[in-house]
Chain A
Amino acid sequence: MSSTRQNAAQTATAQASDGKRMIGLEMLQGANAARTGAEPVYLEGRAAKKAEKKRQKAIEKGLAEERKRSAKTGFSNPTNPRRSWGLTLVTGIFAVYCLFPFLWLLINSTKTQKDFVSTFGLGFGKSFNLWQNIQTVFTYQDGIFGRWFLNTLLYVIVGAGGATLLAIMGGYALAKFDFPGRKAVFAVVIGSISVPGIALAVPQFLLFAKLNLTNTPWAMIIPSLISPFGLYLMWIFSDQAVPTSLIEAARVDGASEFRTFFTISLPLLAPGIVTTALFTIVATWNNYFLPLIMLKDPDWYPLTIGLNQWNSQSTTAGAKAIQNLVVTGSLLTIIPVVVAFLCLQKYWQSGLAAGAVKE
């Protein structure tokens, strides 16, 4: 992506130095910014970030200028084609499909139970009840929702955190050491991806029951520690991001394997680590099947099981329907994950690109 931008900025520069075309002030700025970007300029912290942002903006402007020119001359740069409203509209239909359930959730979490069953789904209710709903969600059944929230947090921090750590170390070992049994480890782990969850869940449950671990947080945490996909991702990433010569150099200088790992390799692996962490966090946060079989005590439920229990309560005869709480609770459940994805998009997009496809 960035190389394309630079290309475009360079063509802009070339045309500018040609002197035959009108040179806009913005274009000059863009060219300048591209040039300073090519040479390493050492700026610290916030100033660097600001300069980078300015540079990106200038390049963006240069690209827009180029598109405008190509519209006039008819010659278009294939790496910077003209934007098409038609294609945007068609893709927009799909984006609407992806987004409107979120809108529905947002709108309906503002309704009372009465409005929820009586008013139109994509329109607001007669009263704005969001704050009361949130308050009721956290106080209903002696505030058990808060407990579920903390449980989920515990499972995510210990389970997904541990899974990420194990995946980093394992992936690093697979990529950078030729130890005995390496191929066997690889074959077994890849093969295990296609084993259905249920094939594991039944014996896992029986095994954990024998060890008296069911109905405790351990029943949820220990199985979450293994992420074959995370291991795969980290191994591909270690293979690409950590040069073997660098490790060799550290060894020659007398660093231990662990020191090399922590001071040399870990910083290089950062984007891959964020990606792996994000995916293990989502997998743990969203897990439904494992807690469903392992946990019977509502005090240890994660959010997913708790929400479904609230929802089933609505359908049992005689019980009070609390669908407004289910909807508001759902909204509160997805907010942390969605925010995490939005904030870390730079990392997971590049990380997944490295992991999903390898030459």
Chain B
Amino acid sequence: MTTAQQAVRSSASDVPVNKHRRDWRGWKFMWPFAVVFVFVFIIPIIYAIYISFFQEKMIGGTVFAGFANYDRLFHDGNFWYSVGRVALFTVVQVPIMLALAALVALALDSMRLHGMRFFRISTFLPYAVPAVVSTLMWGFMYSAKYGLIGSMNAALGWHLDAFSPDWILVSIGNINTWEFTGYNMLIFYAALSTIPHDLYEAAAIDGASEWQIVRKIKMPELRGSLAITVIFSIIGSFQLFNEPQILKTMVPGNVITTYYTPNMYAYNLSFMGGESNYAAALAIVMAVITMVLAYAVQLSSMKEQMR
């Protein structure tokens, strides 16, 4: 995202600016996007903020309630429980996924693999699979009754249960890792392939070992794209919804609750419980938390680059 800002600056200076008359030509191309964007993004956000200040009462209908919804939210144990769960999920799953992605990208970029094209494609392919299909697929394989885990248990005499309360978050994490490692790998790989190869040649002539080339040339390049992948991954895992929502019907009992993740909580509040106003307040608080986190990551990466 820092690269994006640089690009704004550089491309703006390319454009000849007529200081006396404002140049409105760009809007000829911008307006269709802007109109739809206002309709599906800006107005709903303003509307959500607006309704979050109201409450539906049994008597008197919808009344202005000030910060009552927010007050209730800050004392809502279920909500903070769900936030804690996605935070834990983010702290564990995102580093594993990004480390895997970086390792595969480095392996591909080393040009030492047999069948590089095959690896590039096969590691990215899971990204093309809808979350519904990948969750169903893994859900079937997880099943202790007739899935692969069941076969493994039978063969080895284990009692592994991917759907037990202790393991379910790991199972969801595995699905997410499977889906998105390839995507992040591709971003890292793209970053690595912008390094001019003369640099490697020069380093090799100076007697640098392959490990030194990786550490001194490739790793710093990866750091630049790390910010983007971290921000997207944080946003993604804080919005965790599809996988637990779909697994809910496959998992026996009440292991996945209606407030398992903040998004699931908001969904169930507004579409099952009829508490749209409260759900809107929840959604706004989550948006603020996510944006603060994304901003913090961006700031720290900028500091890193300044050094």
A interface residues with partner B (beta carbon < 8 Å)? 1, 3-4, 7, 77-85, 87-88, 90-91, 94-95, 97-99, 101-102, 104-105, 108, 116-118, 120-122, 165-167, 169-170, 172-180, 182-183, 185-186, 188-207, 222-223, 225-226, 231-232, 235-236, 239, 244, 248, 257-258, 261, 282, 285-286, 288-289, 293, 303-305, 307-308, 311-312, 315, 323, 326-327, 330, 333-334, 337-338, 340-342, 345, 349, 352-353, 356-359
Roughly how many angstroms separate A293 CA and B17 CA in the complex, as a whole number?
Answer: 46
Interface membership of B80, Cβ < 8 A: no
Interchain CB contact under 8 A, A311 and B107 = no
Q: How large is the interface on B (under 10, 10 to 19, 20 to 34, 35 or more residues)?
A: 35 or more
Nearest-neighbour CB distance to chain A for B187, whole angstroms, equals 4
Interface membership of B168, Cβ < 8 A: no
Interchain CB contact under 8 A, B12 and A178 = yes
Interchain CB contact under 8 A, A222 and B40 = yes
Interface SS, A side: helix
- The contact of A244 among B15, B23, B224, B267, by CB within 8 Å, is B15
User: Can you list 20 A-B pairs, Cβ within 8 angstroms, ordered by A?
Assistant: A83-B113, A91-B119, A97-B178, A98-B123, A98-B178, A98-B181, A101-B178, A169-B29, A174-B30, A176-B26, A197-B241, A198-B266, A200-B283, A202-B266, A203-B280, A257-B29, A286-B131, A288-B246, A326-B136, A330-B133
Nearest-neighbour CB distance to chain A for B89, whole angstroms, equals 15
- The contact of A172 among B29, B137, B138, B241, by CB within 8 Å, is B29
- The contact of A239 among B7, B224, B238, B276, by CB within 8 Å, is B7
Interchain CB contact under 8 A, B7 and A236 = yes
**Sample of 8 more A-B contacts, CB < 8 Å, known A197-B241, A334-B133:** A91-B113, A174-B26, A180-B22, A185-B30, A195-B290, A305-B132, A338-B128, A356-B187
B interface residues with partner A (beta carbon < 8 Å)? 1, 3-4, 6-8, 10-12, 14-17, 22-30, 32-34, 36-37, 39-45, 47-48, 51, 100, 104, 107-108, 110-115, 118-134, 136-138, 140-141, 145-148, 151, 178, 181-182, 186-187, 190-191, 193-194, 197, 200-201, 203-204, 213, 224-225, 228, 231, 235, 238-239, 241-242, 246, 249-250, 262-263, 266-267, 270-271, 276, 279-280, 283-284, 286-287, 290-291, 294
